């Protein structure tokens, strides 16, 4: 079993997956915050390497990328960061990266180094399954899992292909749009998760726009195996720029709230509708 399968099978609820941009707002503070998230009960971490042109991201994560770049974060430093996190506590780590950063480092070499640092999976934001061969073999050779995105406008036939190419989990995008907080959970989530569950046994984690414990709870009830929360967490960093302890406390408290709100899965064999 891969680290995700172990994680999902142990939990009797949806996995809690916070997202951070590595090095936001600085290497040291970011390390402090991610460790705090692990201590607050994150089951999996989704970490991003900052990029100058993050087209899949809304304003909150764009600003986080800029802060991290200003702090001098490079792919090499990001790998060092991941080593420090996995040394602190073993936890599955999914990487979210824009393709050009891999291309410049060398995809094969980067994935080998990421595996050595303790990483679990890689998701390239701007690489679709049509070009899966550019990432799938290097990931396999490095011993990493692959994660691909599915969106509300992805047709069934393509969802099947996405499931086939995915060895980690399917990153299910809850809405048409970029990352960012939303008032209400998109009503595309439930049908998309249902479609995926009908088409595949691969784990389904939902992200984009999940901003409150209530949203997380709804996503879990829709049948997701994991809930990814990015912009809401990154926003805590933006909100108190000069006070790392406050950031940490806000993130810790928020993650505890979300974890408490996540419903237990119904025992196997019974309906959870």
Give the containing element (helix H, strand E) for 97: strand 93-97
Question: Residue from 11, 177, 197, 240 that binds other proteins (CB under 8 A)?
Answer: 177
Q: Which of 24, 43, 57, 113 is catalytic?
A: 57
Give CA torsion, residues 177, 182, 188, 190, to 10 deg: 140
- The number of residues that bind other proteins (CB under 8 A) is 40
Q: In Å, how far are 96, 132, 174 from 108, measured between CA atoms? A: 16, 14, 31
- The CB-based long-range contact list for 170-173 (8 Å cut-off, 24+ gap) reads 170/196, 170/200, 170/202, 170/203, 170/204, 170/205, 171/123, 171/147, 171/205, 171/207, 171/228, 172/196, 172/204, 172/205, 172/206, 172/207, 172/224, 173/149, 173/206, 173/207, 173/208
Q: Which of 46, 145, 181, 218 is catalytic?
A: 46
Q: Is 46 a catalytic residue?
A: yes
Given the rule CB under 8 A, which of 12-20, 82-90, 127-135, 210-218 is the region that contacts other proteins? 127-135
184 belongs to the binding site for other proteins (CB under 8 A)? no
Please give the residues from 128 up to 167 whose contact with other proteins meets the rule CB under 8 A.
128-131, 148-151, 153-155, 158, 162
56 belongs to the binding site for other proteins (CB under 8 A)? yes
Please give the residues from 17 up to 46 whose contact with other proteins meets the rule CB under 8 A.
none
Query: Is the four-CA dihedral 149, 152, 158, 159 of positive or negative sign?
Result: positive
Distance CA 187, CA 140 (A): 35
Q: Is 201 a catalytic residue?
A: no
Nearer to other proteins, 238 or 249 (CB): 238
Distance CA 208, CA 228 (A): 7
CB of 77 to other proteins, least distance (A): 10
CB of 155 to other proteins, least distance (A): 7
CB of 88 to other proteins, least distance (A): 25
211 belongs to the binding site for other proteins (CB under 8 A)? no
Tokens of 249: 């406390």
Please give the residues from 66 up to 125 whose contact with other proteins meets the rule CB under 8 A.
69, 74-75, 99-105, 125
Interface residues with other proteins (CB under 8 A) are 51-58, 62, 69, 74-75, 99-105, 125-131, 148-151, 153-155, 158, 162, 173, 175-178
């Amino acid at each position: 079993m891969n680290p995700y399968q172990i994680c999902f099978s142990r939990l009797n609820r949806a996995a809690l997956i916070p997202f951070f941009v590595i090095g936001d707002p600085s290497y040291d503070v970011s390390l402090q915050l991610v460790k705090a998230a692990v201590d607050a009960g994150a089951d999996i971490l989704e970490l991003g390497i900052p990029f100058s042109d993050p087209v899949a991201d809304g304003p909150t994560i764009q600003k986080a990328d800029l802060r991290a770049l200003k702090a001098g974060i490079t792919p090499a430093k990001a790998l060092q960061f991941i080593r420090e996190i996995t040394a602190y506590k073993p936890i599955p780590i999914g990487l979210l990266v824009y393709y050009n950063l891999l291309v410049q480092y060398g995809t094969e070499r980067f994935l080998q180094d990421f595996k050595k640092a303790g990483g679990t999976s890689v998701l390239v934001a701007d690489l679709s399954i049509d070009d899966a061969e550019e990432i799938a073999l290097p990931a396999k050779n490095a011993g990493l899992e692959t994660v691909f995105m599915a969106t509300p406008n992805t047709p069934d036939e393509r969802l099947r292909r996405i499931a086939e190419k995915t060895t980690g989990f399917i990153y299910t995008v809850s809405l048409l749009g970029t990352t960012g907080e939303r008032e209400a959970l998109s009503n595309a989530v439930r049908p998309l998760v249902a479609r995926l569950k009908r088409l595949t046994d691969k784990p389904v984690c939902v992200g984009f726009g999940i901003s409150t414990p209530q949203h997380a709870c709804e996503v879990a009830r829709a049948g997701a195996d994991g809930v990814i929360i990015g912009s809401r967490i990154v926003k805590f960093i933006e909100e108190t720029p000069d006070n790392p302890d406050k950031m940490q406390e806000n993130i810790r408290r928020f993650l505890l709230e979300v974890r408490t709100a996540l419903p237990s899965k119904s025992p196997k064999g019974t309906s959870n509708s």
